[in-house]
Structure 1
Amino acid sequence: MTRLDWASGHWTHEPAAVERHGDAVVVTAVEGTDAWRTTAYGFVHDTEHALLAPFDAGTAVEVAFTGDFSGDFDQAGVFLRTDDENWIKTGVEFSDGLLQLGAVVTRGVSDWSVAPVPHWAGRRITVRASRSGDAVAIRARIDDEPFALIRLAPLDPDAVVHAGPFLCAPSRSGLTVTFESWTVTEADGSLH
């Protein structure tokens, strides 16, 4: 497992603030930021704060973080980007008054899947995306619990993809997330 330096990535959109705290980085989102394309809402938002580095086939990226997710649609996790119309964001999002775990897979238009995880609030969350063949397997956990499979999504095996931590604050100012680690390792050996 290789720990990436925070300086090795490039922001898709600069956050309101970024501060180093030892090995961690504390990031504050700009109000009104989000990533979404068309489905059900009719708008395109391309203002997320994603710190991206190359994401090669046969590797996995992990991001561990904590945050106070309390505003509508506060979100953080891992962002995988091929281009403006093909990307995945996965992690936690505050929706319908609860912390939710899920993913948005965008291939021209976005979809959205979530499941409530209110007991994850205030805990260290780790999201892992593992790229193998024509797919990416997305897993997540709290603290040191075992990873649970969240989503299996298609991903072109020949695509040039960049990935890393992200956050968005569509409805408020002041969302601050502490990203504790950003690592790359070999892809998972199997889906199960």
Structure 2
Amino acid sequence: MADTQHRTVAWDEARWLNHPPQAAPDGTGALVVTTGARSDFWRRTSYGYVRDDGHALLTAFPQGGAVEVTFEADFTHLYDQAGLMIRVDEANWVKAGIEYTDGAPHLGAVVTREFSDWSQSPVPEWAGRPVTVRASRAGDALTLRARCADGPWRMFRLVPLPPDAAATAGPFCCSPEREGLRVRFTGYTTSPADPDLHGAE
């Protein structure tokens, strides 16, 4: 995943799905986003409701491409979350990143095809540090990786995604139990898909 092939996506190049109450550059190249009250992305499973009012800043995500998002936030309330969204439509999408639950940040993904599923693992040592989430799209698969700061990449989910699906991807955040989660997004890049499933540079 060499940096030489990465292209930075300008914040004003992408389009908001559900514009947040506040979103502004901070003068360093980062975008600071503040979430709206009880914002979320979820469909049906266990909870029974459909929510599609979280905040996502999306650009085209073609076959053979990859998207990376880097962010940092003080996750303190249940279900505070931020990371990377991949979206086909309102019933078919993936969100991947950090979510606060059971008293600690967790790395995980929600994969939705009409119904949402949720997988996660605790990463308490990542609290308060920058996190990068990467989605690589090749063939019929979406490979999700993440790392903390400049640490090693960790593959945490392999998701089916039809090769011909028109998808978008980019930073997302939401706060299902409150308002005012502040997320600082410091990177948003695209690049070619990873050459293989297990090799990460």
> Same fold by TM (over 0.5)?
yes
Aligned match of 2:3: none
TM-score (ref. length: structure 2): 0.94
Which structure 2 residues correspond to residues 137-152 of structure 1 after superposition, within 5 A? Answer: 137-152=143-158
CA distance in 1, matches of 2:90, 2:173: 17
Tell me how large the CA RMSD over aligned residues is. 0.6
Q: String of CA shifts for 1:97-119, please: whole Å, max 9, x gaps.
A: 11010000001100000100011
In structure 2, the gaps of 5 or more residues are 1-5
CA distance in 1, matches of 2:95, 2:56: 10
Amino acid at match of 2:10: D
Aligned match of 1:99: 105
| 1:123 partnered with 2:129 | yes
Please give the secondary structure, in 2, of the residue aligned with 1:7.
coil
Amino acid at match of 1:166: F
Aligned match of 2:40: 34
1:74 to 62, 72, 80: 80
CA distance in 2, matches of 1:88, 1:100: 16
CA distance in 1, matches of 2:163, 2:82: 25
CA distance in 2, matches of 1:66, 1:110: 25
**Alpha-carbon distance, 1:95 to partner:** 0.7
CA distance in 2, matches of 1:114, 1:34: 17
Q: How many residues align?
A: 192
**Alpha-carbon distance, 1:165 to partner:** 0.2
CA distance in 2, matches of 1:14, 1:4: 18
Which structure 2 residues correspond to residues 35-54 of structure 1 after superposition, within 5 A? Answer: 35-54=41-60
Q: String of CA shifts for 1:125-158, please: whole Å, max 9, x gaps.
A: 0000000000100000000111100100000100
CA distance in 1, matches of 2:48, 2:23: 32
TM-score (ref. length: structure 1): 0.99
Q: String of CA shifts for 1:57-111, please: whole Å, max 9, x gaps.
A: 1010000010001111000000000011100000000011110100000011000
**Alpha-carbon distance, 1:173 to partner:** 1.7
In structure 1, the gaps of 5 or more residues are none
CA distance in 2, matches of 1:11, 1:145: 30
| 1:24 partnered with 2:30 | yes
Amino acid at match of 1:13: N
2:11 to 6, 11, 23: 6
CA distance in 1, matches of 2:79, 2:37: 11
Aligned match of 2:186: 180
